[in-house]
Amino acid sequence: MKTLIHPTAVIHPQAELHPTVRVGPYAVIGEQVTIGAHTHIGAHVVIEGPTNIGVDNRIFPGAAIGLEPQDLKYKGAASRVRIGDGNQIREYVTINRATDEGEETILGNNNLLMAYVHVAHNCVLGDNVVIANGVALAGHVEIESRVVVGGVLGIHQFVHIGRLAMLGGMSRVDRDVPPYMLIEGNPSRVRSLNLIGLKRAGMNKDEIALLKKAFRVLYRSSLPLTEALEQLDLLGDDEHLQHLRRFLHLSTGAKRRGPIPGRSKGRHSVESE
């Protein structure tokens, strides 16, 4: 029977690998690493712990997962990385563990992280997220499910990205991105609804029509954010509308960076007050 672990791989005897895990040449897997069934670890991958990786993941050559955070506040705490199932982590992706005791950097299920993506300490990614090449996520970034992030851009620390949003390539993302929106630019601005993404997600015409009304209230009127949110309350109790309202309310909180505005300052924009 052909072995699934290349003889040049270095695996700590305390690491827990399911018998179906494949490990390529010169990979290094540390003591506190657990890897689930049918996961494929490519050549020269480094995985340190504490790190938990689920089933059916593909980790491509040169990726580095679970190493210490690039954070001067880190003092050796027992933090970790937790990765779900069915992810593709491409060449030279880096995923750092969290900073403080008991904290986690989390990657959900069925995500695609293209080459040279950096996921910093304490980031949380949902499911079915696509991040293109050369993207850098600073610490404590949260990305909800089904987000598409264009290539070669940076996301500021503590920024939240709402579900089904799309971020245009080479944008500067320094504030929260509301759900369902397409943002682009330097500085970034909300340009439109992410209509293609909404249709691909299976939203029906009525749901999309309601989000279009919400978009016009938020980004095609001169209302300040508090008044715009009051207008959204009048549009109904649709699940997606509720999520958009909740996200915007939270985005104006003390520990959040506030939402990215519309395409021009003042008129046709949402600004936190």
How many Å apart are CA 214 and CA 88, to the nearest integer? 34
The confidence score (pLDDT) of residue 272 equals 45
The confidence score (pLDDT) of residue 1 equals 38
Q: Is residue 150 part of a domain?
A: no
The confidence score (pLDDT) of residue 255 equals 81
Q: Is residue 46 part of a domain?
A: yes
163-187: pLDDT as tens digits:
999 999 999 999 999 999 999 999 9
Average pLDDT over residues 107-135: 98
Q: What is the dihedral of CA 259, 262, 268, 273, to 10 degrees?
A: 20
Residue 253: pLDDT band by 50, 70, 90 thresholds? confident
For the chain, the farthest-separated pair of C-alpha atoms sits apart, in whole angstroms, at: 70
Question: What is the chain's mean pLDDT, rounded?
Answer: 94
26-83: pLDDT as tens digits:
999 999 999 999 999 999 999 998 999 999 999 999 999 999 999 999 999 999 999 9
Q: Of 173, 249, 239, 196, give the one whose Cα is nearest residue 218.
A: 249
Question: Residue 106 is part of which domain span?
Answer: 10-140
Q: Is residue 229 part of a domain?
A: no
Tell me how many domains the chain contains: 1
Q: Is residue 35 part of a domain?
A: yes
Q: Is residue 87 part of a domain?
A: yes
Return the CATH number at 25. Answer: 2.160.10.10
How many Å apart are CA 74 and CA 152, to the nearest integer? 27
